Amino acid sequence: MIKQGVFPVEPWCVRETELNLDILAQTESVFALSNGHIGMRANLDEGEPHGLPGTYLNSVHELRPLPYAESGYGYPESGQTVINVTNGKLIRLLVDDEPFDVRYGDLKSHERVLDLRGGFLHRTLEWTSPAGPSVRVSSQRLVSFVQRSAVAICYTVSPVDRPIRVVVQSELVTNEESASSTDDPRAAATLDAPLMAEQHSSHGTRAELVHSTRHSGIRVGVAMDHIIEAPPGAVVESESTDDSARVTVAVTLAPGQSLRVVKFLAYGWSATRSLPAVSDQVAAALVGARRTGWDGMLAEQREFLDDFWARADVEVEGDTQIQQAVRFALFHVLQAGARAERRAIPGKGLTGPGYDGHSFWDTETFVLPVLTCTVPQAAGDALRWRHSTLPMAQERAAQLGLAGAAFPWRTIHGEECSGYWPAGTAAFHVNADLADAVIRYVGVTGDADFEREIGLELLVETARMWRSLGHHDREGAFRIDGVTGPDEYSAIADNNVYTNLMAQRNLRGAADAAARHPKEAHALGVNDEETAGWRDAAETMFIPYDEALGVHQQSEGFTRHQTWDFANTPAEHYPLLLHYPYFDLYRKQVVKQADLVLAMQLRGDAFTDEQKARNFAYYEAITVRDSSLSACCQAVIAAEVGQLALAHDYLGEAALMDLHDLENNTRDGLHIASLAGSWIALVGGFGGLRTHNGEMSFKPRLPDRLTRLVFGVSHQGRRLRVDIGATSATYSIADGDPLTFEHHGTPITVTADRRTTVGIPRLASSPPRATQPAGRAPTLHLPTTKAAGSPPDG
């Protein structure tokens, strides 16, 4: 676990001041670089030691068998797993014939800094070899946001006090050896050396490798070139084999001299293009990167991020730890989606192989709300990827005997990859999550072309699925039986409230979109009878409620189940799914992650304030947060019902999920949805941002431990800035037409020529702090208010 204090609290960077090999895999995830197309774990330049080597290309995967003790109709036949593609990060160093290895000799200093404004990873060190000579090494690494296929590394070596012979080996290595991520020997065999060599070449400072996957039929190309600055007498050689390529530089350095190697990398892949086409693609990208040069790529990166932070930055006063964490979170959310460009955004982004590299409903529900308000183009592209997989979703629905489309619970390419159908196939709420993301995107951006060309069909096909999955009972209520909601400790339940309310929004949204675009709807076969059926199902949607307890039931009959014996559950038995059978979990009142609470966040228009308060208190007592998706939702509703200190504690858990490795699995990659959740907790919780029926509203209120919160959101082409203090909030827009929205229920209009400041109503009373299951309360978040020194400017 990464302990608090490993990374000094600084506003614009994450700094590691010494190398700790015990948490090497975790820091490889924390310091990972990506642009949504290429992802590189922060493995040391020299390659060893490593926790988990990893270089990824978005959607490059291999097929593997899914094991079943007993097969059944409709079970997915194969899984998809992200693969570690050719490693271009490697730069090995030899000093007077001694290989540089941090495990040997004397590592006098070692620092790594993730610069959130510059968009690069900076490493500096001083090392004395076992033979005696000392060197200083500086390396900077970036994955370009501007040139999607390009990576650049600047590597500098200098002697400390006497002449040294230096050899630098810059390499490409394919099919690296690494520990298997699966216990299934059939899958392990499939993923062992998944890339087959097709072409290799080297000449001068340049080399190239092209491979293809054995089963999924994806071709991957990578090329490297170098600019070498060295004293006279340097020797440069290159060579290549099927799975490796190397450019070697040898030189003698006197004190005051240095060897500087700038390495440019270009990656490309395709499932359809020929070998010459992929080779040409990476060659062209490599020329473009080299032409820009190291300084040019740094400048491009900074300009891109300056624009991003001008739109997306969240300022937090009163808690410097949260300030650092939310910027770290926004940076990684940007890295996950900025250049994904009609590809999936995986649950771990491109920071590690966790969850097999799959994309889940987390993307639409947690990541896309952030991107929609900060980088709307990236959100639109993520939805276009979903639209490109529509034929597979339609095929899956037909296989299940349903109309419309059934989108997968987990996937890379578009097919369902979950071998456990109660949590996978039965989690139909993913359809409504996708529809919700479409409705939100159109409402925020006002992009009518997107709705007409992409959104309408997604809404129509998901609505058709709901209409065929559900039915009207004898009392006329529309029921959706036998489904699994977000809470994975309840499965195959009738009328899950989250599912039903989100399906209701889906059905209404589809009918409204069809009315706005009648020509396009007619082309999809939509008629008045069908839209009337959608509206009828929405209006009669059954929402279970326990009159005796005065709370909503997470699903029908849930509050009648036996309550889990929390008092006698040892702390070491969490997460429960690793120590108890699902059979036992499914029939007890125990909640893995916020389910009904998430429904109140996304469908707050369906609950009264009193219902929200009672529901929150009830479900807090049985929610164990065995999922990283839970804390941010609980933070939002805790803030809404007036439990601001509790909301602050949940914010801390969501924001520090990976910086402190709270779930002990950051080694496998970052929790992108939880990182996005820190923004949601601040903006949706303490900022009170909600969007219902295309209308935006705010109910800001800060906890005592925060003094100021500032953020921006996009809406209909305008950029709204919200500045919240203890007693008032100020709204302003830089330019554009006036914007009208609600502040604590009162309509206000903001214009470009003046700032509008309004008071924040005092809480009538402070409700008692909700209680959680024994041992599962969030850690009391005591904010730090003093930051370390300023980060490098980049």
The residues annotated with a catalytic role in the active site are: 488
Burial of 529 (0-12, 13-18, 19+ CB in 10 A): exposed
How many angstroms separate the CA atoms of 459 and 439, rounded?
A: 9
432 contacts 362 by C-beta, under 8 angstroms = no
Q: Which two tokens stand for residue 218?
A: 């994806």
Q: Facing residues of 472 across strands?
A: 478
HSE, side-chain direction, 13 A CA sphere, residue 598: 27
Residue (of 703, 745, 748) closest to 722 by Cα position: 748
What would the 3-class secondary structure string for 132-171 be? CCEEEEEEEEEECCCCCCEEEEEEEEEECCCCEEEEEEEE
Radius of gyration of the chain (CA): 27
Q: Facing residues of 139 across strands?
A: 123, 155
Residue (of 315, 309, 310) closest to 708 by Cα position: 315
Residue (of 750, 627, 607) closest to 690 by Cα position: 607
Q: Which two tokens stand for residue 688?
A: 């009170």
How many angstroms separate the CA atoms of 167 and 172, rounded?
A: 17
**Backbone φ, ψ for residue 153 (5° rounding):** -135, 130
Q: Which two tokens stand for residue 685?
A: 């919780």
How many angstroms separate the CA atoms of 162 and 450, rounded?
A: 64
| Cis peptide bond N-terminal to 581, omega within 30 | no
Taking the CA atoms of 656, 658, 660 and 662 in sequence, report the sign of the dihedral they define.
Answer: positive
663 contacts 626 by C-beta, under 8 angstroms = no
Burial of 28 (0-12, 13-18, 19+ CB in 10 A): buried
Do the strands 244-253 and 164-173 form a parallel or antiparallel pair, or are they unpaired?
A: antiparallel
